[in-house]
Amino acid sequence: MPLTINGESIPPEILQEEFQNIKSHYERMARVSCCERDPEFRQYARDNITARVLLNQEAERRFPSIPPEDIAARVEALISEHGGRDQFFAATGLTPESEHLVHDDVRAGLRVDLLLREAWSPEPEPSPADLKAWYDAHLGEFMTPEEIRASHLFKQVEKSEDREAIYQSLRSLRAEARSGADFDALARTHTDKEDKLVDLGWFRRGDYMEEFDLIVFSLEEGEISPVFASHWGFHLAKITGRRPPAPKPCDEVAPEIRERILHDHRQEATRQLVAALRQSADITGTED
């Protein structure tokens, strides 16, 4: 039996598309495998579609008329964002003959915008004390990234037959460094980097290739890595400094906190509006 909301029947393909989007999101986050959570995701899809339909229906009831000039302005803004009409229709998969469908969607969107702005009003204006309290409660979200400093010895491998010799050479250099030899001096002498710059300075995860990050960020300060390979050749690194994550100053992140507080307020106000609409709605059927 199809999902029906206040007499509006929802096409099964709409629910299926929502379900697939939700499932793909969780799979990308590596929080689900195969079909173990499909019933849960189908319920999420049903709830999401129900909320959107209820908001659209209520918006149409409260704001039946939207000024044509507002619709035209929004459509032109969308076209401009895509770089012109041709690019817009190519990106949306529509044709110029179906532009009226774009106007219909924009009209519905403007109605919902009005409805939500009404539901969110009045929006809070957080005081400095509110910002600080929110900051303290979510301190872990405002930490600087971990940084390390390293010296780096790189050897390029041009021929496959050279790999073993280069690998053994780097193992010998590593043994020298671990016995007390100056790592930077060894690196400058033996590196294949043309600029001979062996000090990489301070860097974060993601600044270099993943193979490099996985090794160097697992080391302690003063530790010399094993010889390891990448697409470019062989590497040897020594960690010369480490900066652990530290809280960013509250004043620095205050604008972000203000937006987060407003976001939370809007989400809760929207949730309450949808809950109220559901109470009086006639909802039947399932996505199956």
Q: What is the pLDDT of residue 286?
A: 65
Q: Is residue 71 part of a domain?
A: yes
159 and 96 in one domain? no
Residues in CB range of 177: below 8 A, 6 or more apart: 183, 186, 224, 236, 238
Number of domains making up the chain: 2
Q: Is residue 252 part of a domain?
A: no
pTM passes above 0.85 = no
Structural domain containing residue 112: 4-121+260-284
115 and 49 in one domain? yes
Residue with tokens 């010889």: 227
Q: What is the pLDDT of residue 287?
A: 47
Q: Tell me the C-alpha distance between 235 and 173, whole Å.
A: 11
110 and 13 in one domain? yes
Q: What is the pLDDT of residue 33?
A: 62
pLDDT tens-digit readout, 222-267: 999 999 998 889 999 999 999 999 999 999 999 999 999 999 999 9
Q: Would you state the structure tokens that stand for residue 143, as one six-digit string?
A: 């930490």
Instruction: Indicate whether 97 pLDDT > 90.
Output: no
Q: Is residue 209 part of a domain?
A: yes
Q: How far is residue 166 CA from its own chain's centroid?
A: 40
Q: Tell me the C-alpha distance between 226 and 215, whole Å.
A: 9
Contacts of residues 108-113 at CB distance under 8 Å and 24 or more positions apart, as own/partner, are: 108/56, 108/59, 108/60, 109/74, 110/66, 110/70, 110/71, 110/74, 111/56, 111/59, 111/60, 111/62, 111/63, 111/66, 112/55, 112/56, 112/59
Q: Is residue 131 part of a domain?
A: no
H, E, C per residue of 178-215: HCCCCHHHHHHHHCCCCCCCCEEEEEECCCCCHHHHHH
Rounded average pLDDT over 43-49: 94
225 and 195 in one domain? yes
170 and 64 in one domain? no
Residues in CB range of 92: below 8 A, 6 or more apart: 102
161 and 72 in one domain? no
Q: Tell me the C-alpha distance between 94 and 104, whole Å.
A: 13
Q: Is residue 141 part of a domain?
A: no
Question: Percent of the chain at pLDDT above 70?
Answer: 97
Instruction: Indicate whether 34 pLDDT > 90.
Output: no
